[in-house]
Structure 1
Amino acid sequence: MSDKYAVPNKLPAKQVNVMTHRKRRLREEESHHRVKRLNRSFKLRSKKRDYKKPEFFITQYLKAERDSKRMRRVIMKNNFLKGVDDEEPKLLVVMHHRAHRVASKECTLIMNSMGLNRLHNTVLLKNTTESLALLKMIEPYVVYGYPTIQTVRDLIFKHGFLRIKGKRTAINSNKLIEEHLGEHGCICIEDIVHDLFTVSDNFKNVRSLLLPFSLKAPRDGWSKKIGVSYSRGGEYGNRKHEINALIERCL
């Protein structure tokens, strides 16, 4: 038999092209359906739902009732009325470390009055009997202690913002400080650091313009249970001088 009548071993070129186009079309359709499913799931996740499960309200009620009982126990003990010793530092640094949403209205009001309405917000307060009493009320949601001058300086330089004409303005020049605090004797950033750390007569004036510091979660995360007090091996509560190591990890 001659070679021209031999049966070819391969399919014709036209048939190969048809099969290739079919496979490519199937791959494109599969990819299109996969992208469509992902877009649909993303829309469902981002869509704001108008309803809440009954368990949400029950949980919120139980949390609020638990906070109310805890606050009554704190008031009955009166441990915070013993006052502040003269040897203790005059300044406190307080950070809202847990719970985006606080169920108790009383705790929410106290935290909003201190500027701790957002998670990881940090403020500087006078170490007074009144401040300690309020901190005892909201203690499960905050960590606090005695800052060093380096901690105060880092907070001002890295996360310091002033409220000027209702706007959030970064502390980026001494001229800005002199314009708004010059009449109180503050002409530079170091003056603000000094007035805050020493709790001078200008402390109230500086605090009225200074916004809460917006920090981040600790770099290595929380190593212990955030729902347990620091005195019992947890995270929340009074850390005294050890608060500086935590603030450094949050900067």
Structure 2
Amino acid sequence: MAILNSNPEILLRKRKNADRKRLEKQEQIRERQILKKTLKKKRTKFIRPETLISNHKSNELERKRIKNLIKNQHNDVVEEKKVDDSEGNQEYKLLFVVRIPNQNTKGLKIPNKVLQILQVLRLTKINTGVFIKSSEKTKNILKLIEPYVLIGSPSLNSIRKLFQQRATIKITTKTDDDEKEEEKIIKLDDNSLVEEKFGDDLGLCCVEDLIFEIFNTSGNFIKITNWLQPFRLNAPINGWGPEAKLARMSNQEFKIEDYL
């Protein structure tokens, strides 16, 4: 007759091994499901010739647009240097940029130049937004990504509402097992988080301080916005169609309330 080992350490180790094997098995099943879905998507589908021609024309027009904008950038930079060559005298304007779906361009391939800019701005997902401070030197960059974003000037009240409902940050915590570090995104609803991050260096101790720093495009703007995660927004009720986008762009104030 086998003698059962009642040593708590051995039992705990066996339990951990069983849990680890169970998790590994679940992960293998999940990977097989993902692979199956990927292979299913890769199956060739019939595409109408008219669609191929339309997609080709759209891509050609987009490449020409990017090429012309880049060609004109040099002249704009030279003119700006003649007006003011010092960074300290720059006047910044607060903008809120939202990534939107490509309208009526289902087969359009986004140019690499545009993708790089969107990645730098952290606008890699649809319906996400970030604050930027715009100057004459950044207007050409915004022109490059204009078909893929919505740009507006938020009010102080809009920024405050956005922080109250959508502000998040990424923190690093240690797990109980092996003290490994893991990153997770949490809501910014505690002033102590702000004080811990910026209290000693910048003298900021609450969320309201961050709001005013962003609204006034202060010298701490980059540090604060880089700490914040891109704001995840809801799609507007009337969609992202061309007419709806044109109506929003005609408004001087960016109504963040439409996306909360």
> What displacement does 1:120 show?
1.0
Q: Does 1:50 align with 2:68?
A: no
Paired residue for 2:204, among 186, 204, 219? 186
1:215 & 1:151 partners in 2: Cα distance? 13
Q: Which has the larger radius of gyration?
A: 1
Residue pairs, 1:90-109, within 5 angstroms: 90-99=93-102, 103-109=110-116
Paired residue for 1:73, among 68, 76, 81? 68
Q: Does 1:145 align with 2:152?
A: yes
- Letter matched to residue 185 of structure 2: R
1:102 & 1:149 partners in 2: Cα distance? 36
Q: Does 1:155 align with 2:162?
A: yes
Say which SS state the counterpart of residue 138 (structure 2) adopts.
helix
Provide the residue aligned with 1:241 in structure 2: 252
TM-score (norm 2): 0.64
> What displacement does 1:160 show?
0.2
- Letter matched to residue 259 of structure 2: C
Change (3 A) 1:223 1:69: closer
Residue pairs, 1:1-251, within 5 angstroms: 48-53=40-45, 55=47, 62-78=57-73, 81=77, 90-99=93-102, 103-165=110-172, 166-183=183-200, 184-222=202-240, 224-225=242-243, 234=246, 239=250, 241-242=252-253, 244-245=254-255, 247-251=256-260
Say which SS state the counterpart of residue 91 (structure 1) adopts.
strand
State the percentage of identical aligned residues.
29
Contact 2:101-2:240 at 8 Å conserved across structures: no
Provide the residue aligned with 1:6 in structure 2: none
2:52 & 2:184 partners in 1: Cα distance? 36
Structure 1: gaps (5+ residues): 1-44
2:76 & 2:162 partners in 1: Cα distance? 28
> What displacement does 1:172 show?
1.6
1:94 & 1:74 partners in 2: Cα distance? 20
Structure 2: gaps (5+ residues): 1-36, 173-182
Provide the residue aligned with 1:11 in structure 2: none
> What displacement does 1:130 show?
3.5
Contact 2:92-2:135 at 8 Å conserved across structures: no
- Letter matched to residue 241 of structure 1: Q
> What displacement does 1:47 show?
8.4
Q: How many residue pairs end up in the alignment?
A: 199
2:226 & 2:198 partners in 1: Cα distance? 11
> What displacement does 1:196 show?
0.5
TM-score (norm 1): 0.66
Change (3 A) 1:107 1:58: farther
Contact 1:65-1:104 at 8 Å conserved across structures: no
Change (3 A) 1:64 1:106: farther
1:87 & 1:205 partners in 2: Cα distance? 18
1:80 & 1:118 partners in 2: Cα distance? 30
Provide the residue aligned with 2:14 in structure 1: none
Say which SS state the counterpart of residue 229 (structure 2) adopts.
coil
Comparing 197-206 and 60-69, the one that deviates more: 60-69
